[in-house]
Structure 1
Amino acid sequence: MTSHPAQETYDDGTRLHGEYKVPGGKLVVVDLEVAGGKFTNVSVSGDFFLEPDEALLDINAALTGLDAATGAPDLAAAITARLPKDAVLFGFSAEAVAVAVRRALSRATGWADHQWDVIPPSVLPTRVNVALDEVLTEEVGAGRRNPTLRFWDWEEPSVVIGSFQSVRNEVDPEGVARHGVTVVRRISGGGAMFMEAGNCITYSLYLPQTLVDGISFADSYAFLDSWVMAALEKLGISAFYVPLNDIATDQGKIGGAAQKRLANGGMLHHVTMSYDIDADKMVEVLRIGKEKLSDKGTRSAKKRVDPLRRQTGLSRAAIITAMQDVFAERYGATVSELTAEELEEAGKRVGSKFGTDEWLNRVP
């Protein structure tokens, strides 16, 4: 495994170097030394824009003398407090500088600090897919598995509800029974997903929380999906994030993300994007009000929600392959597979948790 543990001590006079590329913005570089546990000889640079010029000296001065154990929020606060009121930071922020500092100290990591694995789609029961999200996040947090991107596949029609959603409020029992739908609760928050074989693209990222150290909860969504935006752009789709967790184009929403952070340092980030959804069936299975329906770009006269199929003209498999290729090119990821032990553990958790009425109805 290639995760970098946090350093607790630093040799005086050793020059430390950290970089952070702001999603959709500029590169921030920090070079500094640590003497007696304090920052010294701090130099912030990058291809960003900053007015007035002298504000760069203020940023350096704000960091100089701070304790090397200072957390990212306090680093950003110190920089903001030192900057003149008329300072303009374009393409970066005080928070971005804080991330670069943390990376210089090896308390935060970048994509290139890890060996990434990619698990291509394999058909599994939806309950097993949900259980694997918990199992693999724990494995990455414990250092027993490389950070991993996994694409889901399934056959049975399913609804996957968020960890905090009410079954009663989200799911229509008559529609579920009529269409033979499996209802499952996942460990992350967010909204319900209606999933039939081939109707959407779902993937999960399992990563150490050091990758998002210093990045705000809100900003971490776009940061972790920057490779997806590049893949969609390659396919002719200009997509963007709508805070907090929606992925959209100028024609409307195409997907949404959710996250869960575990106590052992592992983190789950997963996304579902619409490929070709039967909207009539969806509204029979889910209790979707007019407000939420309009947000999904659906109207009663429309039979399908098909942004990825319509906007690319490509098969679902071709889009997934393009996504895998971009991820592998960007981060040097290699193809992997689920181990027998991971599948066995997921099966056990289906029996003890994800397949139980107690878990499903924990929020009635």
Structure 2
Amino acid sequence: MHGEFKVPGGKLVVVDLDVVDGALANVRLAGDFFLEPDSALDAINAAINGLSAESDAATIAAAVRSGLPSDALLLGFSPEAVATTVRRALQKATDWRDYEWQLIQGPPLEPVVQMAVDQVLAEEVGAGRRKPTLRIWEWDRPAVVLGSFQSVKNEVDLENAAKYGMDVVRRVSGGGAMFMEAGTVITYSIYAPTDLVQGMSFADSYAFLDEWVISALKSLGIGASYVPLNDITSPTGKIGGAAQKRLGTGAVLHHVTMSYDMDGDRMVEVLRIGREKISDKGVVSANKRVDPLRSQTGLPREEIIERMVETFRTLYGLTPSEITPEESARADELVKEKFGTQEWLYRVP
């Protein structure tokens, strides 16, 4: 069995192994990482050999760590990365380039329809009716998007939301509230088979699925990096956040919102967030715009999106697509049955 894992921001880790009578055997670790002393490579292989093929990532990482000599130095990878690679080998995980990726850009949609389209496209990928897809969202009106488990009354000032004409909707993934106004954010979704993140913890999969956008931002001169669990940041502050949902249909839905040029004052009027949360969002005073992408690049929003798309295309391949009439019809059904209902919005009052 063969497994590969490119550590986000690090090096490639490769493992070849056999399974004999339910145990790992003939483990051979390789990659472009740095490891001292040389004997540590054999120590890692020996630590993994003999483990049960049912071992979880934590067990494998612990075995690697305990088997390393005390003076071992690992650069560009970690025991956890080795464990992820072993699990990917055992579960026959796929890689980005194993798929034909498609791109959907727009069109602008109502916030509640956006929520439904996100679920529909993920389900279609899981069912094999749609190829893995990158979608760049566009908004036709302002909205607050709540995480699946957030309380409406704790997160949103409904009176101020109404004053500014902002819809309040709830998505299927967890995480925090997103403040959306047309042209002020960049939002994208990745719909992929779960095989792409097979063997990874949620924490590892977040960074793995967003490594391409970190590369795109760096190519624009932004010192972007990923901060666990789900933040994209830079030396001057947070840029955006990710959320994820793994569907039982065999797909992973991963979406990210990054701030281009948001009105910080309006955001704190509409969202019920304390000082701690405000600092996390980069708002430090009144009359402050949350504009990391605009201020750090000086570029129009459209040019940043173009660079993101080109980066993804260069790394993994990308062909144009669009939401099909069947997918649109299913999204309309989900709006009526789920996302547009008071029961869904107030599932956590």
Pairwise same-fold verdict (TM > 0.5): yes
| CA distance in 1: counterparts of 2:291 and 2:32, whole angstroms | 39
| CA distance in 2: counterparts of 1:113 and 1:68, whole angstroms | 25
Residue number in structure 2 paired with 1:108: 93
| CA distance in 2: counterparts of 1:30 and 1:165, whole angstroms | 40
Deviations for 1:107-130, whole angstroms, at most 9, x for unmatched residues? 212112222111112111111111
Cα root mean square deviation, aligned:
1.9
Aligned partner letter, 2:215: A
Query: 329, 337, 344: which one pairs with 2:322?
Result: 337
Counterparts of 1:113-262 in structure 2, within 5 Å, are 113-262=98-247
Residue number in structure 2 paired with 1:99: 84
- Between 310-319 and 46-55, report the one with greater CA deviation: 46-55
| CA distance in 1: counterparts of 2:121 and 2:217, whole angstroms | 26
Residue number in structure 2 paired with 1:363: 348
| CA distance in 1: counterparts of 2:260 and 2:50, whole angstroms | 53
Deviations for 1:149-168, whole angstroms, at most 9, x for unmatched residues? 11111111111011111100
| CA distance in 2: counterparts of 1:52 and 1:326, whole angstroms | 36
TM-score normalised by structure 2 residue count: 0.93
Aligned partner letter, 2:167: T
Query: 278, 281, 284: which one pairs with 2:263?
Result: 278
Deviations for 1:308-334, whole angstroms, at most 9, x for unmatched residues? 112111111111111111101100121
The Cα of 1:305 is off from its aligned counterpart by 1.6
- Identity percentage of aligned residues: 64
| CA distance in 1: counterparts of 2:19 and 2:179, whole angstroms | 52
| CA distance in 1: counterparts of 2:42 and 2:101, whole angstroms | 38
State whether residues 3 and 93 of structure 2, in contact with CA within 8 Å, keep that contact through their aligned partners in structure 1: no
State whether residues 158 and 183 of structure 1, in contact with CA within 8 Å, keep that contact through their aligned partners in structure 2: yes
The Cα of 1:300 is off from its aligned counterpart by 3.2
Aligned partner letter, 1:100: T
State whether residues 73 and 214 of structure 1, in contact with CA within 8 Å, keep that contact through their aligned partners in structure 2: no
Residue number in structure 2 paired with 1:308: 293
| CA distance in 1: counterparts of 2:56 and 2:36, whole angstroms | 26
Aligned partner letter, 1:346: A
Aligned partner letter, 1:302: N
The Cα of 1:253 is off from its aligned counterpart by 0.9
Aligned partner letter, 2:209: L
The Cα of 1:19 is off from its aligned counterpart by 2.4
Q: Which runs of 5+ in 1 are unaligned?
A: 1-15
TM-score normalised by structure 1 residue count: 0.90
The Cα of 1:148 is off from its aligned counterpart by 1.2
| CA distance in 2: counterparts of 1:308 and 1:318, whole angstroms | 11
- Between 212-221 and 68-77, report the one with greater CA deviation: 68-77
| CA distance in 1: counterparts of 2:343 and 2:91, whole angstroms | 42
| CA distance in 2: counterparts of 1:360 and 1:112, whole angstroms | 38
The reply to whether residue 25 of structure 1 matches residue 10 of structure 2 is: yes
Residue number in structure 1 paired with 2:63: 78
| CA distance in 2: counterparts of 1:218 and 1:361, whole angstroms | 28
- Between 134-143 and 118-127, report the one with greater CA deviation: 134-143
State whether residues 72 and 213 of structure 1, in contact with CA within 8 Å, keep that contact through their aligned partners in structure 2: no
The reply to whether residue 323 of structure 1 matches residue 295 of structure 2 is: no
| CA distance in 2: counterparts of 1:137 and 1:362, whole angstroms | 22
Q: 1:213 to 1:86 in 2, by over 3 A?
A: farther
The Cα of 1:35 is off from its aligned counterpart by 4.8
| CA distance in 2: counterparts of 1:172 and 1:325, whole angstroms | 39
The reply to whether residue 89 of structure 1 matches residue 74 of structure 2 is: yes
- Between 235-244 and 91-100, report the one with greater CA deviation: 91-100
Residue number in structure 2 paired with 1:48: 33
Residue number in structure 2 paired with 1:291: 276
| CA distance in 1: counterparts of 2:225 and 2:153, whole angstroms | 32
Q: Which runs of 5+ in 2 are unaligned?
A: none
Q: 1:173 to 1:295 in 2, by over 3 A?
A: same
Residue number in structure 1 paired with 2:251: 266
The Cα of 1:239 is off from its aligned counterpart by 0.7
